[in-house]
């Protein structure tokens, strides 16, 4: 089984130089860090939390390999004391988090780490790396699901995903968000995500005659006959499918669908639908792919394209219209004192926080309240304990559970956020208790700095 | 050592369903596939080939793990014959490629695979995945290098890179393209790329007093004193640095530079430079970071910001202004016959191809000629044999060699492509011999389809 890359040195060098100073100066008291998104990217009205499972796996397995330790020692950059400390490194802290599939908004922590400062610091880079990417992709994928809730949506993005792990985790994040499956075989093997796929243009081209390619495929994969019809002439190929069908039927082979990957998809789908229907192939579906995203889906469906399923590739796996989130993992408390950063345009709310969500009478999300932990508000608290003293509190949630949660969350979205619109922004109120804490921290900072 | 993810099932399901049909119908003759970019993304006037080393490692190591084999067998989707064939699978083909660091343009193959059809087909998804991403990042990174050739540029992008492999390979691709190094420790360990880094805002915040944070750090990491000064008040912190410096100097510790990560970088850098200079710290540099890319660098330098080095993170590792390339891996020949796809707007040039590059008297790239292999043209042929019968022809190139090549390529660029401009497009001519071949293929297709 191919595991996610686990290297503890998959981190930024500054984590280690900071650790050197923390260890030198005995700064190993409890730190609290929270991970949140500062500002939603323009096209997004909400985000969907994802990647917690991989984040917890990472924390549970945290340990320097002997090879990593030797390399650090040989670098000459770190003291013997720090190296000894790293040799025994394990994650022994607590984690609170929003469950995967939860909708969230700017400034709301989706993960809180409470641990001795060096541990909590060291894990920053990889925690962000894991939670950022899956959250990015789940948040893109749900938009496709909202546009085409009754169509089959499949992740086709591996080849242009940014590396292996992105390809694999995009399959997970999009499935969690409501996709039907992925083309990536390893995601099926590793996560049990249904895999889809039939043939590429190269398959058709390798045959001298297109009909032969179709017939060969149908006989080799009779359970899964989806024929790619746009290699040379889409409508001509649809006629060939009609001609082939009766013979295949006699052999007990049904054609499931045809795939169109280029050209004017609305026009082609309509013509192909007419050809198939006239040829008695009403049960054969049309599957489409090629530079698709939620905007293209919206246009295709608005134009009445008779397409039953979509392969969404590059634009999904790269989240092309918003390829990153402005997320951060910030120190909120150390040694019992709330902390905050006040850099221009990047100031953060201090202290351990909780998010309360309030719903209207119809069960739709109405507003969130961000406050300090312990300041109980009306509504549902979204951050829950998931790890204590380095051990998980629950067994991993199944992807089925996550899909159900995510679907339920979409139902509860305010109406306009179900429409690909990001305005008006969903209201996230800052509780007085949190404002007061920020004021206290600022006063202390002004006295001391 | 953490290796790139090697799973052979990190592929699209259709590769396996096609293999089922190829094996059933004895289609195992030699196929030729080429990998190229159909169209450059709007902001790019040229691309830089990267990722070949990882692609060759992937091909050399290609082999189904016993676990993968068992899983495929248990899926019930594939015949015993195909499973046996996959059990013995190794890559036995030839590869031609442009060396890493080579500048290239639309329609030009950067890799050609010549192998029995099932092998050449199966490796498609991962080959694209590996070459696409590093090429994407190298092509972004060189733009920063062109804008700021005499500044220290460092990859800061791990946390928001799309997964672990992206973070690691972005460090490699940007170093290859001329960056000074990366913050990612594992890239140093694995590739020997110089790593940079000192402290985060959390480090400052964990201390009650900013001066104490600075002093602690300087004593813990005396060789590498770069102080982050924008946590609370940038100019006030610069004054603190001036006050600290004499005491540290007495201890034999020099301050290397200060880092500014937020606010108006031009204004802050100028003020901080003045404060440092007035305080006798002319030798202390200014390093800057925060949402930087080639456009921001251009503005900062045009505005005369006295900044010596830049950390380029998210925008580099996600190539935010062009997060993917329209690349493809296409069948060009099978069983001795040239092939081509004629899908609308996606037609390809058939056959095995070569790219010849011609230079003007000053050594600048003048034009490229794309032609069929064997049609010798004036100029330098860019595709070279790198693997034969599954074995590499050369030992891996060092990153130093790749950096030298990349730098030389940038010197040879036409003047306007050194200016972040993508227009006018660099001329890539199609040779008559290639047009004639395309005509022959079309005639054959029309007769047979």
Q: What is the pLDDT of residues A106-127, one digit of tens each?
A: 999 999 999 999 999 999 999 9
- How far does Cα A378 stand from its chain's mean position? 29
Q: What is the pLDDT of residues A43-69, one digit of tens each?
A: 999 999 999 999 999 999 999 999 999
B69 touches chain A (CB under 8 A): no
Cβ under 8 Å to B: A residues 155-174: 156, 158-169
Residue of B nearest to A117 (CA): B206
- Take residue B295 and report the two structure tokens written for it: 């456009």
DSSP assignment of A73-125: HHHT-S-HHHHHHHHT-----EEEEPPTT-EE-TT--SEEEEEEHHHHHHTHH
Q: What does the radius of gyration of chain A's CA atoms come to, in whole angstroms? A: 26
**How crowded is residue A235: how many other Cβ atoms within 10 Å of its Cβ?**
15
To the nearest whole Å, the CA of B79 is away from the closest chain A CA by 9
Query: Is the Cα dihedral A187, A190, A191, A196 positive or negative?
Result: positive
Q: Where are the alpha helices (DSSP H) in B25-123?
A: 52-61, 66-75, 80-87, 117-122
Q: Which conformational region is residue B309 in: left (phi greater than 0), alpha (psi within -120 to 50 degrees), or beta?
A: beta
The CA-atom distances, in angstroms, between A216 and each of A220, A222, A248, B28 are 6, 10, 11, 14
Q: What is the pLDDT of residues B281-312, one digit of tens each?
A: 999 999 999 999 999 999 999 999 999 999 99
Q: What is the pLDDT of residues B358-416, one digit of tens each?
A: 999 999 999 999 999 999 999 999 999 999 999 999 999 999 999 999 999 999 999 99
Please report the pLDDT score of residue B5 as a whole number. 65
B243 touches chain A (CB under 8 A): no
Q: Which residues pair with A155 in a beta bridge?
A: A182, A312
Q: What does the radius of gyration of chain B's CA atoms come to, in whole angstroms? A: 26
- How far does Cα A355 stand from its chain's mean position? 21
Q: What is the pLDDT of residues A127-175, one digit of tens each?
A: 999 999 999 999 999 999 999 999 999 999 999 999 999 999 999 999 9
Q: Does the pLDDT of residue B3 top 60, yes or no? A: no
Q: Does the pLDDT of residue A1 top 70, yes or no? A: no
Phi first, then psi: what are they for B392, rounded to 5°?
-65, 145
DSSP code for B12: B
Contacts of A194 by beta carbon, 8 Å cutoff, 6+ apart: A180, A181, A182, A188
DSSP assignment of B199-235: --HHHHHHSSSHHHHHHHHHHHSTT--EEE--SS-HH
Between helix B124-147 and helix B399-412 the angle, nearest 10°, is 60
Query: Is the Cα dihedral A126, A130, A136, A139 positive or negative?
Result: negative
Please report the pLDDT score of residue A2 as a whole number. 43
Q: Does the pLDDT of residue B345 top 80, yes or no? A: no
Q: Is the peptide bond before B424 cis (omega within 30 degrees of 0)?
A: yes
Mean pLDDT of B431-449: 90
B208 touches chain A (CB under 8 A): yes
Torsion of CA B209, B213, B215, B217, to 10 degrees: 170
The rounded distance, in Å, linking the Cα atoms of A418 and B207 is: 44
The rounded distance, in Å, linking the Cα atoms of A384 and A146 is: 27
Q: What is the pLDDT of residues A352-398, one digit of tens each?
A: 999 999 999 999 999 999 999 999 999 999 999 999 999 999 999 99
Helix (H, G, I), strand (E, B) or coil at A184: strand
Chain B interface test: which of A9, A206, A258, A262 (most B C-beta within 10 Å)? A206
The rounded distance, in Å, linking the Cα atoms of B30 and B119 is: 10
Q: Does the pLDDT of residue A35 top 70, yes or no? A: yes
Lowest-confidence pick of A101-105, A380-384, A402-406, B7-11: B7-11
The b/e string for B316-349 (b: 16+ C-beta within 10 A; e otherwise) is bbbbbbbbbbbbbbbbbbbeeebbbbbbeebebb
A428 touches chain B (CB under 8 A): no
Q: Does the pLDDT of residue B346 top 80, yes or no? A: no
Torsion of CA A304, A307, A311, A314, to 10 degrees: -20
Contact B195 A121 (CB under 8 A): no
The rounded distance, in Å, linking the Cα atoms of A99 and B204 is: 31
The rounded distance, in Å, linking the Cα atoms of A235 and A267 is: 10
Mean pLDDT of A278-307: 98
The rounded distance, in Å, linking the Cα atoms of B328 and B34 is: 8
Phi first, then psi: what are they for A106, rounded to 5°?
-55, 145
The rounded distance, in Å, linking the Cα atoms of A415 and A419 is: 7
Residue of B nearest to A66 (CA): B1
Q: What is the pLDDT of residues A414-441, one digit of tens each?
A: 999 999 988 999 999 999 999 999 999 9
Residue of A nearest to B346 (CA): A262
- Take residue B213 and report the two structure tokens written for it: 């944070």
Q: What is the mean pLDDT of chain B?
A: 96
Q: Which position has the token pair 């050609």?
A: B112
pLDDT band at residue B2 under the 50/70/90 scheme: very low
Please report the pLDDT score of residue A344 as a whole number. 74
The rounded distance, in Å, linking the Cα atoms of B27 and A207 is: 9
Please report the pLDDT score of residue B1 as a whole number. 36
The rounded distance, in Å, linking the Cα atoms of B342 and B339 is: 10
Please report the pLDDT score of residue A341 as a whole number. 80
The rounded distance, in Å, linking the Cα atoms of B75 and A221 is: 13
pLDDT band at residue A446 under the 50/70/90 scheme: confident
Q: Where are the alpha helices (DSSP H) in A99-227?
A: 117-122, 124-147, 164-176, 185-191, 201-206, 210-220
Q: Which position has the token pair 């002319």?
A: B282
The rounded distance, in Å, linking the Cα atoms of A44 and A33 is: 25
DSSP code for B195: B
Phi first, then psi: what are they for A227, rounded to 5°?
-105, 130
The rounded distance, in Å, linking the Cα atoms of B353 and B340 is: 13
**How crowded is residue A191: how many other Cβ atoms within 10 Å of its Cβ?**
18
The rounded distance, in Å, linking the Cα atoms of B191 and B155 is: 14
The percentage of residues in chain B with a pLDDT greater than 90, rounded to a whole number, is 94
Phi first, then psi: what are they for B423, rounded to 5°?
-115, 150
Closest CA to B277 of B238, B225, B305: B238
Q: Which conformational region is residue B304 in: left (phi greater than 0), alpha (psi within -120 to 50 degrees), or beta?
A: left
pLDDT band at residue B342 under the 50/70/90 scheme: confident
Contact A125 B343 (CB under 8 A): no
Q: Does the pLDDT of residue B420 top 70, yes or no? A: yes
The rounded distance, in Å, linking the Cα atoms of A11 and A118 is: 13
The rounded distance, in Å, linking the Cα atoms of A340 and A170 is: 33
Work out the widest C-alpha separation in chain A, in whole angstroms: 87
Q: Does the pLDDT of residue B71 top 80, yes or no? A: yes
Q: Which position has the token pair 């080429």?
A: B34
Residue of A nearest to B220 (CA): A21
Decide if A145 contacts A403 (C-beta within 8 A).
Answer: no
To the nearest whole Å, the CA of A420 is away from the closest chain B CA by 21
Contact A159 B16 (CB under 8 A): no
The rounded distance, in Å, linking the Cα atoms of B123 and B128 is: 9
Q: Which domains does chain A have, with CATH numbers?
A: 13-137+324-448 (3.20.140.10), 148-317 (3.20.20.70)
Please report the pLDDT score of residue B422 as a whole number. 86
Decide if B172 contacts B134 (C-beta within 8 A).
Answer: yes
Phi first, then psi: what are they for B136, rounded to 5°?
-55, -45
Please report the pLDDT score of residue A448 as a whole number. 76
Q: What is the mean pLDDT of chain A?
A: 96
To the nearest whole Å, the CA of B217 is away from the closest chain A CA by 6
Among candidates A33, A128, A156 on the partner chain, residue whose Cβ is nearest the Cβ of B160: A128
Contact B13 A231 (CB under 8 A): no
Among candidates A128, A236, A330 on the partner chain, residue whose Cβ is nearest the Cβ of B159: A128
Contact A216 B24 (CB under 8 A): yes
Mean pLDDT of A93-104: 98
A14 touches chain B (CB under 8 A): yes
The rounded distance, in Å, linking the Cα atoms of A360 and A427 is: 13
Decide if A151 contacts A310 (C-beta within 8 A).
Answer: yes
Contact A209 B1 (CB under 8 A): no
The CA-atom distances, in angstroms, between B189 and each of A84, B3, B234 are 19, 12, 34
> Rounded to a whole number, what is the distance in angstroms from the first to the last CA of chain A?
52
The rounded distance, in Å, linking the Cα atoms of B442 and A232 is: 10
B425 touches chain A (CB under 8 A): no
């Amino acid at each position: 089984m191919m595991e996610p890359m686990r290297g503890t040195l998959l981190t930024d060098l500054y984590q280690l130089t900071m650790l050197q100073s923390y260890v030198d100066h005995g700064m190993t008291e409890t730190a609290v860090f929270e991970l949140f998104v500062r500002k939603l990217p323009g096209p997004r009205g909400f985000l969907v939390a994802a990647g917690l499972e991989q984040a917890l796996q990472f924390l549970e397995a945290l340990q320097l390999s002997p090879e990593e330790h030797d390399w650090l020692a040989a670098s000459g950059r770190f003291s013997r004391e720090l190296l000894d400390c790293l040799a025994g490194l394990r994650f022994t802290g607590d984690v609170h988090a929003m469950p995967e599939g939860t909708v969230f908004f700017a400034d709301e922590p989706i993960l809180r780490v409470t641990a001795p400062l060096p541990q909590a610091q060291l894990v920053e880079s990889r925690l962000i790396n894991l939670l950022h990417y899956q959250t990015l992709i789940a948040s893109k994928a749900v938009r496709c699901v909202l546009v085409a809730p009754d169509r089959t949506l499949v992740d086709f993005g591996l080849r242009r995903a940014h590396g292996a792990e992105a390809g694999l985790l995009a399959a997970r994040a999009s499935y969690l968000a409501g996709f039907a499956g992925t083309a990536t075989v390893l995601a099926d093997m590793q996560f049990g995500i249904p895999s889809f796929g039939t043939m590429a243009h190269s398959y058709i081209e390798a045959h001298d005659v297109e009909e032969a390619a179709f017939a060969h495929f149908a006989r080799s994969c009779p359970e899964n006959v989806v024929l790619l019809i746009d290699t040379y002439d889409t409508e001509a190929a649809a006629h060939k499918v009609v001609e082939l069908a009766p013979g295949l039927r006699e052999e007990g082979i049904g054609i499931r669908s045809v795939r169109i990957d280029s050209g004017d998809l609305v026009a082609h789908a309509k013509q192909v639908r007419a050809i198939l229907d006239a040829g008695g192939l009403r049960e054969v579906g049309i599957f489409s792919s090629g530079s698709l995203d939620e905007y293209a889906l919206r246009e295709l469906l608005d134009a009445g394209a008779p397409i039953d399923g979509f392969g969404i590739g590059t634009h999904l796996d790269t989240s092309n219209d918003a390829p990153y989130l402005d997320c951060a993992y910030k120190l909120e408390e150390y040694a019992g004192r709330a902390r905050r950063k006040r850099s221009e345009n990047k100031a953060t709310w201090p202290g351990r926080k909780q998010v309360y969500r309030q719903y209207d009478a119809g069960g739709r999300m109405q507003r969130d309240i961000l406050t300090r932990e312990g300041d109980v508000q009306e509504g549902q608290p979204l951050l829950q304990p998931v790890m204590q003293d380095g051990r998980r509190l629950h067994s991993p949630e199944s992807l089925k559970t996550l899909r159900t949660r995510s679907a339920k969350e979409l139902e509860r979205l305010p109406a306009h956020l179900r429409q690909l619109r990001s305005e008006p922004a969903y209201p996230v109120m800052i509780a007085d208790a949190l404002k007061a804490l920020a004021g206290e921290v600022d006063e202390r900072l002004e006295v001391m700095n």
